Structure 1
Amino acid sequence: MKFFISSEIDGRFSQNVPDKFRRVRKSVESILNKHFLDKDYGANIKSIGVIPILILTDLKEFYKERRLY
């Protein structure tokens, strides 16, 4: 199974926030992929995508937490 991590980042953050997130994302994605690459959870689960939304607190009412399972 493969992990894919992306993001949506509020454009009002300084460039520092996306840069730091990118470094952390690459590290976490690499660790997860090394651990789960040889795992098989059946034909229907080949990958998992995680897409966090990083926003300033004034927008939090527009982006409610969403859980699919």
Structure 2
Amino acid sequence: MEREIIRLACLLTRPLRPIDVETHLNINHRTAVRTLQSLCIKGLFAAVTGAEGKHVVRYELQPGALIR
């Protein structure tokens, strides 16, 4: 699932939203967010907060993620 999320991020060439992952993989919202958070912990993605800085709304693929 994590590899497919990285592939999706490369295809979209923009920061991912949890809804993008949900629709692409046909999974629950909570599962999508949990997997994206796991990828952030591994250093493959970085969380981007919204305008107010309260909630994470997007996840950016890190440059080193494709090398691993």
Structure number, greater radius of gyration: 1
Fold agreement, TM-score > 0.5? no
Structure showing the higher helix proportion among its residues: 2
Output the TM-score relative to the length of structure 1: 0.28
Higher RCO (Cα < 8 Å, 6 or more apart): 1
